[in-house]
Amino acid sequence: MIRIQYIYKHNHYYYYYYYYYYYYYYYYYYYYYYFYYYYYHHQHHHYYYYYYYYYFLVHQYLLSMETIMRTLPEYGSNPRPADNILYTTATMN
């Protein structure tokens, strides 16, 4: 009984870890993506280069987070969030 409870809590922890990081970086990815386009259309070209580089770093970090999330046990039963991230990064390149 104790072992089952430990496994349940362990999976419960990873469940929130999975969705916390997914929604956290998914939100900031769109935030910086909007920020990058805002400065691209309204500011000087120097701002464009700076925020384009910053957007690239966020994009690469999001790809690394997708790789990490694919190793979590919930990926097999809930693949849709990671698939959405893959679709988002593929369409915004």
- Pick the closest to residue 66 from 13, 26, 14, 35 (CA basis): 26
What's the confidence (pLDDT) of residue 28? Answer: 40
**What gap in Å lies between CA 81 and CA 24, rounded to an integer?**
12
Domain range spanning residue 40? 2-91
Query: Quick check: 54 pLDDT over 50?
Result: yes
Amino acid, single-letter form, for residue 91: T
Query: Quick check: 68 pLDDT over 50?
Result: yes
Number of domains in the chain: 1
C-alpha R_g of the chain: 17
Average pLDDT, rounded, for the chain: 48
58 C-beta neighbours (distance < 10 Å), count: 18
Residues recorded for the chain:
93
